[in-house]
Amino acid sequence: MTQRPAVVPAPAMIHVGDGTFLLGSGVVVGGEAAASALCAQLLAQRTGLALETGADAQLFCALIEHGEPESYRLRVTPEGVQLEAPDAAGLFYGVHTLVQLVARHDGEWILPAVEITDAPRFEYRGVMLDVARHFHGVNTVRGYIDRASALKFNVLHLHLTDDQGWRLELSSRPELTGSGAGTSVGDKPGGYFSAGDYRDIVAYAASHHMTVVPEFDVPGHTHAVGLGYPEIAAPPAVSEAVDDAVAQFGGGMPTPGVPYIGLAVGFSSLIIDSAATDEFLTAVFGELAAMTPGPYLHVGGDEALGTPPADFAAFMARVTAIVAKLGKTPIAWHEAGAAPDIAPSTVGQYWGFVAPTADSAEKARAFVAHGSRLILSPADAVYLDMKENDSDRLGLTWANGPTSLERSYRWEPTSIIEGIGEDAILGVEAPLWTETIVDAADIDAMAFPRIAAAAEAAWSQPEQRDWESFRGRVAGLGPLWSRTGIAFTRVAGVEWAYDED
């Protein structure tokens, strides 16, 4: 059998040998307990085979003393399978690579003979899920963690607040969810995570080697805050852009004290020069920090069009200082680079285009000038909510029109911001905004297969990245995704594989 292994993201080194390893009900999986149990579970899900775990194993998972964090080595021969890694994360990723290799041939389940040595390019490999525009509950978030971690993402950024809703219960400010969580875009039902729900998500993510990065977006995107705490909310700044969005999408104009269900942005702001606002920020970020074991808190800072520039700069300096004093690393969208006194540790998240404007590039470079680094999320490449075709039911097109799978793949992180090289890039993140995304099936349809292109940008070395190779490899994941219940979109231009009967 000759077949190019469908491994995504592309490993650092892969050599295809001769022969195959036959997977059957007599195969025993052994070694490190968590990895061997996961391997047996995922292989059973993929093949239907009930594999045993035990000491006399043909498929063995082992921790070793040396190696890069998250790296692994995988060797498949006709006689057996050996997976080694220096840490649990490496074994986890190696198991998922192993499962991607599974194929059906002549009525049997097999693994091709291969040798793989692999390690990540960037330490931060993120996906973002917006639960504010439409609320997505714990089970949906768990499902997204399953899907993303299988592609070797290690960060889940949760966009928890926006004009349409506040989605995390806080004891210090109960009216944030008491008044601000009842609706979503288009007057769909709202919702929120209890403190227990959030702990569950954080723990589930950790079990999949993912860190949760929670975001409270301030000072803009804060209309929902004013529903419960009007004393810290500025009046809506209605602009021509707001008028245009309402005319195109409906949802009505933003009105103080009334939930906002439209798609306009840039009209809301907290009151900047206010002791009450500072008390609010200290309370909500303090509580969020106590709930979040990971190192990052995201403070937003994007599209604050209703906040005068000088006020915005002062505000971002204050909120990043609050987060830094809590012992966390602030992350902010790249507009916050305009604030000269921002906390020096603040990581910038660039969401402009692959070909940046001079203004967005300057603001992004400011984070590096302060001594920090950048996360790259170019909207016209890795925003997973962009339509793939104009005629698609789901998604938007504002990021340079529809985004094909090929366009989502053909970009290089070090080529985005002039003067920003590999050392200044913390990683890559693929956001999924949910203005049009209502349920888990919508998430699957929009994220897959383009999420795989983002995974490869985050994990794989430049010399391993090739569009034609990727198109063939992602096609080979069709049977795995189908078997695991991922409702992916079979985009045109890819010869999607199917399992043999």
The C-alpha angle 274, 280, 281, rounded to 5 degrees, equals: 95
**CATH superfamily entry for domain 13-118:** Chitobiase/beta-hexosaminidase domain 2-like (3.30.379.10)
Residue 1 has pLDDT above 80, yes or no: no
Residue 429 has pLDDT above 60, yes or no: yes
**Phi–psi pair at 398, nearest 5 degrees:** -65, -20
Segment 226-241 shows an average pLDDT of 95
- Same CATH topology for 13-118 and 124-459? no
Options 3.90.1170.20, 3.30.360.10, 3.20.20.80, 1.10.510.10; CATH for 124-459 is: 3.20.20.80
DSSP, collapsed to helix, strand or coil, labels residue 184 as coil
Question: What residues does each domain of the chain span?
Answer: 13-118, 124-459
What percent of the chain has a predicted confidence (pLDDT) above 70? 99
**Phi–psi pair at 488, nearest 5 degrees:** -75, 160
The rounded mean pLDDT for the chain is: 96
| Band of pLDDT at residue 486, cut at 50, 70 and 90 | very high
Strands (E), 284-414: 296-300, 329-333, 347-350, 374-376
Residue 476 has pLDDT above 90, yes or no: yes
Segment 482-490 shows an average pLDDT of 97
Pair 113, 78: CB distance under 8 Å = yes
Q: And the tokens for 436?
A: 């049009």
- The predicted pLDDT at position 3 comes to 54
CA distances from 407 to 160, 313, 412, 453 (A): 29, 34, 11, 9
Residue 56 has pLDDT above 50, yes or no: yes
- The predicted pLDDT at position 2 comes to 42
- The predicted pLDDT at position 363 comes to 98
The span from the CA of 94 to the CA of 308, in Å, is 50
Provide the pairing of β-strand 374-376 with 425-432.
parallel
Pair 101, 1: CB distance under 8 Å = no
The span from the CA of 454 to the CA of 405, in Å, is 10
User: 155-210: per-residue pLDDT in tens?
Assistant: 999 999 999 999 999 999 999 999 999 999 998 999 999 999 999 999 999 999 99
Of 19, 38, 4, nearest in space to 474 by CA: 4
CA distances from 306 to 199, 318, 378, 405, 418 (A): 34, 18, 24, 35, 30
Provide CB contacts within 8 A for 200, sequence distance 6+: 138
* Residues known to be catalytic: 303
CB atoms within 10 A of CB 369: 12
Residue 484 has pLDDT above 50, yes or no: yes
Provide CB contacts within 8 A for 33, sequence distance 6+: none
What percent of the chain has a predicted confidence (pLDDT) above 90? 95
The span from the CA of 152 to the CA of 156, in Å, is 12
- The predicted pLDDT at position 241 comes to 86
Q: Is 385 exposed, middle or buried (0-12, 13-18, 19+ CB in 10 A)?
A: buried
- The predicted pLDDT at position 501 comes to 60
CA distances from 84 to 94, 169, 230, 239, 475 (A): 8, 42, 56, 58, 27
- The predicted pLDDT at position 25 comes to 86
| Band of pLDDT at residue 63, cut at 50, 70 and 90 | very high
DSSP 447: H
Residue 223 has pLDDT above 90, yes or no: yes
Enumerate the β-bridge partners of residue 125.
428
